[in-house]
Amino acid sequence: VCASCGIAEGDEIKLEECDACKLVLYCSDKCREGHREQHRVKCRKRAKKLRDKILFRQPDSSFLGECPICCLPMPLDATKSSFLACCSKIICKGCVVANVMMSNGGDNCPFCRGPVTSKEENRKKMLKRVKANDPVAMRQVGFKCYNEGDYDSALGYWTTAADLGDLGAHYDLGLLYRDGEGVEKDAEKAVYHLEKSAVGGHPLARYALALWEEENGNMERAVKHYIIAANLGYDDS
């Protein structure tokens, strides 16, 4: 029944859950709004429990997944993988080396087999991938802007990539808002993006959350984050 007016669900009456806590049902927006004050405390408490249940679940693997060529787990160390500008794939360095050895110098992309081109041509290809709404390419262009000190452009690219579901972009945004680089410091936005990334299996985002909780004296929560990041292979945790 509706938590506000008590009407029962029927053929003509459809009830909807409270979006936050999933505990109660409402028949209309008017009932939802009218019951808000009475329901607020219980709702927040339950919503926090639901959020923590998702947040502290151990992911099956890191957000990087497997190398698309050899299907081995991708290394967490970014120096042991390569981004291919022509097709926006990230592959392990082992497959890069194998391609060089098998093709007498690696004149073709290890994944799409397209010809290896100059840096300028690679940049054009990457921008084509950005126009095609490729979130990985957007994150890479955003990272290039960030390294050049263009924080506004980095924010734009990472925000779009995050909206498209890129967990690395969520992590980068979390750090931007945490440190206030090019944006005003915003703890709420920083935690939101870091949590989005951590739930998807980003060990560095998980580690950043652990440090955050430790600094705020929440040691039990910090330890949970450290353990999950360590299980994902992040040695610092």
Q: What is the pLDDT of residues 12-49, one digit of tens each?
A: 888 998 888 888 899 998 998 889 888 888 888 888 88
Give the pLDDT mean for 90-94.
95
Q: Is the pLDDT of residue 88 over 80?
A: yes
Q: Is the pLDDT of residue 106 over 70?
A: no
**DSSP 8-state assignment for residue 60:** S
Sign of CA dihedral 60, 22, 170, 185: negative
Give the pLDDT mean for 136-156.
93
Query: Quick one: tokens of 4?
Result: 């506000």
Can you give the pLDDT at residue 160?
A: 96
Q: Coil, strand or helix: which one is 218? A: coil
Q: How many Cβ atoms from other residues are within 10 Å of residue 113's Cβ?
A: 12
pTM for the model stands at 0.82
Q: Is the pLDDT of residue 141 over 90?
A: yes
* Biggest CA pair distance of the chain: 76
- Give the integer Cα–Cα distance in Å for 231 and 228: 5
Q: Is the pLDDT of residue 196 over 90?
A: yes
pLDDT-based confidence at 105, cuts 50/70/90? low
Strands 89-92 and 81-84, sheet pairing? antiparallel
Contact 137, 168 (CB under 8 A): no
Q: Is the pLDDT of residue 57 over 90?
A: yes
Instruction: Give the residue among 116, 39, 47 at the shortest CA–CA distance from 84.
Output: 116
Can you give the pLDDT at residue 104?
A: 67
pLDDT, averaged across the chain: 91
Question: What percentage of the chain reaches a pLDDT higher than 90?
Answer: 65
For every residue of 136-149, DSSP letters joined together read HHHHHHHHHHHHTT
Can you give the pLDDT at residue 67?
A: 96
pLDDT-based confidence at 182, cuts 50/70/90? confident
Q: Is the pLDDT of residue 117 over 90?
A: no
Q: Is the pLDDT of residue 231 over 90?
A: yes
Contact 163, 190 (CB under 8 A): no
Greater model confidence, 114 or 211: 211
- Give the integer Cα–Cα distance in Å for 103 and 111: 13
Instruction: Give the residue among 226, 186, 227 at the shortest CA–CA distance from 210.
Output: 226
Can you give the pLDDT at residue 154?
A: 94
